[in-house]
Homo-oligomer: A and B are copies of this chain.
């Protein structure tokens, strides 16, 4: 089944999709900026703050494009305040390293999910989503910092592996909460392009990429 922008269910799903993406970036910005305060050096504080600032730039571009598509960004984001607040409360980092892994792994999972979604939308919407999902490699510093930390403190490896699993679990749990309450989004996912088996395959891919990302950090998933 092909989606057309004139179908009202499809239009509602697009609003949801851009809304969840935008609010995800706004809250990622806030959390990363706050977590940068845990950094043990000015260089790392600055790097983490830069990561946060990138989220805000992408959020801004997204909001601007939503307005030009006659979508009210605040109304589009509103339904996602509760699940994102819950996710961030349940994954509040207690240490700088946890914050760092969350910035890398949590955002990685979210962006993989949005990239999967981008495959189902029309060209204009996909272009808007791509703009907000562009990876400029700014998170690469996380890899060497986490690898170094594991080398000097071997117990960190086990703790951070557990933390990564928790991040994946909380992200999937909130994604499910969203799917249950947002009919248009759920129907869009199930009804168009993807059947239930395809959704299952998508979750398998998300988990595989999560495992690869954890391996890049030197952590088991």
Closest Cβ of chain B to A6, distance in Å, is 28
- CB neighbours (8 Å) of A73 from chain B are 42, 46
Number of copies: 2
Least distance between A89 CB and chain B CB atoms (Å): 11
A129 at the binding interface (Cβ < 8 Å): no
Flag the segment in A49-57, A161-169, A170-178 that touches B. Answer: A49-57
Do B52 and A26 touch across chains, with their CB atoms under 8 A apart? Answer: no
How many residues of A are in contact with the other chain, CB < 8 A? 27
Measured between beta carbons, the chain B residues less than 8 angstroms from A37 are: 30, 34
Is A216 in the interface zone, CB < 8 Å from B? no
Ranked 9 nearest A-B pairs via Cβ: A33-B33, A34-B34, A53-B56, A42-B74, A30-B37, A30-B33, A43-B74, A42-B77, A53-B53
A195 to B218, CA, bound (A): 59
Nearest Cβ on chain B to A11's Cβ, whole angstroms: 21
Contact B42 A78 (CB under 8 A): yes
**CB-defined contacts of A149 to chain B, threshold 8 Å:** none
Is A74 touching B33 in the complex (CB atoms < 8 A)? no
- Output the residue of A41, A42, A45, A81 with the most chain B CB within 10 A: A42
B56 in contact with A30 (CB, 8 Å): no
A125 at the interface (CB under 8 A from B): no
